[in-house]
Amino acid sequence: MLNASLKVRGVEMTKEKDDRWAKQFGDFAETLTMYVLGQLKNMSVALIDHVGADVIAVKRDNTSVRYAISVKGRNIPPKESKSFNFTQGNIDKLTETAKTFGMIPAVSFVFVDEMEGPKKIRIFVAKLEDLLEMCSDPKIGFINGASDGVTIRYTEGKNTHWLSAIRSCDRIAYFEMQFNELENVAVLD
C-alpha cells in the first residue's frame, strides 16, 4: 500500500511503504546474490529456506568447495550510517548450518543507498572466517567485532568513507549497480 491513507483514532495517517516491503526486499537481496555469484563468479547457486543460510553456492570448477550464505539486505536512508550489524546469533546459526551440511559459511550484504549521488546497490560477499579475522586487524577500519557480532560499515561520521578500502580488499567480493532514470516518462503515474 504505497501512500495509502488510514484513520487511527480519528487521525488520518499516510502509510509510505507496503506491509510486505521487508519480505520483498529480502527476496530481492537473495535473488541478486544468486545472480552475482552464478553469473559473475561462475558458481552454481540455489535458494534455500534454512535457519542461518539463504543461498548455497558451489564452484563449478571445484564442486568440493561449497558455501552456505546468509544474505542480509538493508535499504539505507540518506541520513543514516551506512552499516550493518551481523549479530552473534546470526553468526552462530550460519556456522551451525554450514557445519551440518559440510559447507563454508559466508555472508552477502546487499545495501541500497544514495551516498555517491544516484541510488546504488552495493553487494559485499565474504567468507565468515575472513570477516572475523579482519575484525582483529587494526589496519582495517570498515569492520569491527564485538560481543554482539560483527559490524561492517562504509561510512563513519560525515567525513570517513571506507568504500575504496572495501572495493580493494582481496577478502571481499564487491559489486555495485547504479539506478539511472534515462527519461522522465510518466508511464506509471
Map residue 33 onto helix, strand or coil. helix
Read off φ and ψ for residue 128, nearest 5 degrees.
Answer: -60, -40
The dihedrals phi and psi of 84, each to the nearest 5 degrees, come to -150, 135
Predicted local distance difference test score (pLDDT) of residue 128: 96
Digit-by-digit pLDDT tens for the chain (189 residues) are 444 444 555 555 555 667 787 788 889 999 999 999 999 999 999 999 899 999 999 999 988 999 999 999 887 776 766 778 899 999 999 999 999 999 999 999 998 888 888 889 999 999 999 999 999 888 888 998 877 899 888 776 666 678 888 999 999 999 999 987 666 666 655
Q: What pLDDT, on a 0 to 100 scale, did the predictor assign at position 187?
A: 60
Domain ranges of the chain: 16-178
C-alpha cell at 175: 559489486
Pick the CATH number of 16-178 from 3.40.1350.10, 3.40.50.720, 2.40.50.140, 3.40.50.1100: 3.40.1350.10
Q: What is the predicted pLDDT for the residue at 100?
A: 96
The pLDDT of residue 2 is: 42
Q: Looking up cell 549497480, which residue turns up?
A: 177
Phi, psi of 7 (to 5 degrees): -110, 130
Q: Cα 156 to the chain's mean position, in Å? A: 18
Output the pLDDT for position 160: 63
pTM above 0.75? yes
